[in-house]
Amino acid sequence: MKKYALFPGCSLEKMAASYYRSSVETTKKFGVELQELEDWNCCGATTYSYIDELLANTLVARNLALAEKEGLDFVAPCSACYKNAYFTNKYIKEDPDLWEHINYALEQDDLQFHGSIEVYHIIDIFAKEIGPEEIKAKVTNPLNGLKVAPYYGCQIVRPRKNGEEFENPQFFEEIIDAMGAEPVDFAERLRCCGASLIMTNRQAALEMVRVLLNNALNSGADVIATACPLCQVNLECYQTAVNEEFGTDFKMPVLYFTQIMGLALGLPRKQLGIGSELVSAAPIFSQVMVKEGK
């Protein structure tokens, strides 16, 4: 069984607890164990870098050093945590002065950064480590006819890492396809959800959410699949606010892709944290349940 250090980040502790559960349960089906990183600290979201970039990198490096101590590669389900971890890991290795300074600070916590581990987003585990073929083989409840909008958002594709495709990625569609569901042609799938602007610039963020919901609806989606807690909260929990603001009537379910994956793997809904949504996901279950019966 391949084991990874799971970096939940602050969102997955409570707000996105369903993402945590569904990530652990679905990977387990493929012989992958996600073990929560012991004593992790907040990755800093975007705000550490607003104050001090060295501090931002140091706090992220602490988490990487903790995973190194356990000899485990690092997995983050939150896209913002992932981006921070991925790039700190990269920047330190490229800059000996930064490396030295950060290790000088980490020393106070009996830790050192050695640069010996890889950083993954949970979607990388499914798309690259497990792969669509193996997913297909393990699907017991193919989600035939379920139309899913693959919402990449920003940070699983941006900033660019090793020259991979950022204008037209397909890995999310491939995963949805492997579940037996139908990935819809969701033109705005790479557009930002507004992220923390929902707190600091409400007007702009609600408009950004509206554009996405509208595009998902027009693309015929039954549900939006996300890979980030901030995207999930903005698209789902602020849907009522969007409706009030723009006079729209969106009732678009927004689930973590791991929850939808869990349904395809035949896992009980409760085990996937389904039921904590503010916009009911019930409309999609009639479809899924029909197949559960056969």
Partner 1 sequence: MSAKPTFSHEISNLMYKSHGNPTKSCIQCGTCAGTCPVAEYMDQTPRRLIGMINANLKEEVLASNTYWFCASCYHCTVRCPSQIDIAGVMYAVKRYSIWNKSYSEDLVGPAFSEAFVKIIARSGRSYEPILAPTYMFSMEPKEFVQEAFNATKMMLKGRIPVLPTRIKHIKNFQEMIRRIIPIGGES
Instruction: Please report whether residue 47 would count as binding partner 1 according to CB under 8 A.
Output: yes
Tokens of 260: 């939808």
The distance of closest approach from Cβ of residue 209 to partner 1 in the complex, given in angstroms and rounded to an integer, is: 11
The distance of closest approach from Cβ of residue 204 to partner 1 in the complex, given in angstroms and rounded to an integer, is: 4
Options 166, 187, 268, 283; binder of partner 1; rule CB under 8 A: 166
The residue (of 39 and 249) whose beta carbon lies closer to partner 1 is: 39
Binding mask 256-275 for partner 1 (x = CB under 8 A): --------------------
The distance of closest approach from Cβ of residue 133 to partner 1 in the complex, given in angstroms and rounded to an integer, is: 29
Nearest to 204 by CA among 224, 226, 234, 229: 234
Instruction: Please report whether residue 106 would count as binding partner 1 according to CB under 8 A.
Output: yes
Instruction: Please report whether residue 98 would count as binding partner 1 according to CB under 8 A.
Output: yes
The distance of closest approach from Cβ of residue 249 to partner 1 in the complex, given in angstroms and rounded to an integer, is: 17
Instruction: Please report whether residue 250 would count as binding partner 1 according to CB under 8 A.
Output: no
**Residue 272 to residue 260: CA distance in whole angstroms:** 9
Cis (ω within 30 of 0) for the bond into 253? no
Rounded (5°) CA angle 87-226-13: 70
The distance of closest approach from Cβ of residue 294 to partner 1 in the complex, given in angstroms and rounded to an integer, is: 31
Options 24, 32, 78, 195; binder of partner 1; rule CB under 8 A: 195
Instruction: Please report whether residue 186 would count as binding partner 1 according to CB under 8 A.
Output: no
Instruction: Kindly list the distances between the CA atom of residue 73 and the CA atoms of 21, 33, 148, 268, in Å, as whole numbers in the listed order.
Output: 19, 11, 30, 29
Instruction: Please report whether residue 277 would count as binding partner 1 according to CB under 8 A.
Output: yes
Instruction: Please report whether residue 246 would count as binding partner 1 according to CB under 8 A.
Output: no
Instruction: Please report whether residue 112 would count as binding partner 1 according to CB under 8 A.
Output: no
Instruction: Please report whether residue 40 would count as binding partner 1 according to CB under 8 A.
Output: yes
Q: What is the rounded radius of gyration, in angstroms, for the C-alpha atoms of the chain?
A: 19
Starting at the edge strand found earlier in the chain, the sheet holding 73-76 runs 32-36, 2-6, 73-76, 119-121
DSSP for 80-129?
HHHHHHHHHHHHHHH-HHHHHHHHHHHGGGT--------EEEHHHIIIII
Q: Which residues pair with 151 in a beta bridge?
A: 226
Instruction: Please report whether residue 150 would count as binding partner 1 according to CB under 8 A.
Output: no
The distance of closest approach from Cβ of residue 195 to partner 1 in the complex, given in angstroms and rounded to an integer, is: 5
Nearest to 89 by CA among 43, 24, 158, 36: 43
CA torsion 260-281-148-5 (nearest 10°) is: -30
The distance of closest approach from Cβ of residue 173 to partner 1 in the complex, given in angstroms and rounded to an integer, is: 20
The CB density around residue 223, as the number of other CB atoms within 10 Å, is 24
Instruction: Please report whether residue 55 would count as binding partner 1 according to CB under 8 A.
Output: yes
- Interacting residues toward partner 1 by CB under 8 A: 10, 13-17, 39-42, 44-55, 58-59, 62, 87, 90-91, 94-95, 98, 101, 104-110, 154-155, 158-160, 166, 190-192, 194-197, 199-205, 207-208, 211, 237-238, 240-241, 244, 276-278
